[in-house]
Amino acid sequence: MIDITLLGSGGGMPMPNRHLSSMLISYQGRKILIDCGEGTQVAMRKLHTGFKSIDIICITHFHGDHIFGLPGLLSTMANSDRTEPITIIGPVGLKDMMEGLLVVIPYLPYDIHLIENPQGTLKLNDMYISTMKLQHSMPCLGYGFYVPRLPKFDLKRAIENKIPRKIWSKLQKGEAVSYEGKDYSPDLVLGEKRRGIKISYITDTRPIDEIVEFISESDLFVCEGTYGADEDLEKAIKNKHMTFKEAAELAYKGRVKELLLTHFSSSMDEPELCRINAENVFKNTIIGYDGYMKTLSYR
């Protein structure tokens, strides 16, 4: 299972009832943080999510509403006796950005590994992380997270292949085993393939065609909804953002299971009032809010 916590659902500037962009993914006792706007630490305290087990921080881009909480979080982690390394992923310019932020926190008791402008798919902690370039006013990345699921254990196949019972569990976990002088591979006991869990995270961009394939068949599609009203389309185009309707159109075309809208403009006090603009296109739409939580399980 994977737990999702929306720490901050705002875009642009912080509001009294809304922290800036940030989301936490928890899996197998470890955590991935996506963006770190102002208020991220406060949200973590309120929601009791913890922060010491964050292994990976994915930065979409370097506008302040997505990164100004980062120096404080890294400092707090240092003061909490964190010694394990942290991996930070981001678009072109990540190294320069981190050099600037680290001026105010030059002494950290842990190493920071930077992955700038990643190519292909990364495998970190049993999770596959992919990225795509978005269309914003500066380099910006969308993120995809996929947790695979092992095929079913095929009892009939294991018996037919005369596999010793003592090694069934290891083979079922995908491990190759040497037992009593003979090598056994997982395919000798595994049956049909099963679908894993896919999460897509897209923010600060216009709705380009490439997004549809990237988010295809996602269990959860987290997407910016900077502007709720269709009448704000001109603003969305000018500022390279999306309306609720445009995000919903991507969800519909990508055949995702659920759409979670976030990154609301500070001019939109009540995003719920614009829900219909998304639901008219994609019924299974969730209007995000600070503290929204969801658990994703294998289908």
The domain boundary, picked from 133, 164, 192, lies at: 192
Q: Pick the catalytic residue from 3, 35, 55, 65.
A: 65
pLDDT > 70 fraction of the chain, expressed in percent and rounded? 100
Q: How far apart are CA 266 and CA 289, in angstroms?
A: 13
Q: Which residues pair with 90 in a beta bridge?
A: 116
Q: What is the pLDDT of residue 94?
A: 97
Check if 65 is active-site: yes
Please check whether residues 201 and 62 belong to one and the same domain: yes
- Torsion sign over Cα 92, 93, 97, 99: positive
pLDDT > 90 fraction of the chain, expressed in percent and rounded? 75
Q: pLDDT-based confidence at 180, cuts 50/70/90?
A: confident
β-strands 2-8, 22-27 pairing:
antiparallel
Which residues, 6 or more positions from 255, have their beta carbon under 8 angstroms from its beta carbon? 216, 217
Instruction: State how many domains the chain has.
Output: 2
Q: How far apart are CA 273 and CA 172, in angstroms?
A: 49
Q: pLDDT-based confidence at 166, cuts 50/70/90?
A: confident
Q: Say if residue 125's pLDDT is above 80.
A: no
Please check whether residues 286 and 204 belong to one and the same domain: yes
How many residues make up the chain in this entry?
Answer: 299
> pLDDT tens digits, residue range 63-73?
999 999 999 99
Please check whether residues 135 and 174 belong to one and the same domain: no
Q: How far apart are CA 21 and CA 11, in angstroms?
A: 6
Q: How far apart are CA 150 and CA 196, in angstroms?
A: 8
For tokens 């590994």, name the residue. Answer: 113
Q: pLDDT-based confidence at 189, cuts 50/70/90?
A: confident
Q: What is the pLDDT of residue 161?
A: 87
Q: What is the pLDDT of residue 153?
A: 84
Please check whether residues 48 and 180 belong to one and the same domain: no
Tokens standing for 273? 């009032």
Give kind and range of the element (H or E) at residue 177: strand 177-179
Q: Which residues pair with 153 in a beta bridge?
A: 190
Convert 227-246 to b/e letters by CB count within 10 Å (16 or more is b): bbeeebeeebeebbbbbbbb
Please check whether residues 48 and 174 belong to one and the same domain: no
Q: What is the pLDDT of residue 160?
A: 86
- Residue 232 maps to which CATH number? 3.60.15.10
Q: How far apart are CA 87 and CA 76, in angstroms?
A: 16
Please check whether residues 238 and 121 belong to one and the same domain: yes
The three-class DSSP label of residue 203 is: coil
Please check whether residues 183 and 281 belong to one and the same domain: no
Please check whether residues 105 and 141 belong to one and the same domain: yes
Tokens standing for 56? 């990976």
Please check whether residues 140 and 253 belong to one and the same domain: yes
Tokens standing for 41? 């630490």
More confident residue, 91 or 298: 91
> pLDDT tens digits, residue range 201-250?
999 999 999 999 999 999 999 999 999 999 999 999 999 999 999 999 99
CB-CB contact of 34 with 23 (8 Å): yes
Please check whether residues 33 and 165 belong to one and the same domain: no
Please check whether residues 45 and 176 belong to one and the same domain: no
**Domain extent at residue 67:** 2-151+193-296
Please check whether residues 183 and 284 belong to one and the same domain: no
Which residues, 6 or more positions from 156, have their beta carbon under 8 angstroms from its beta carbon? none
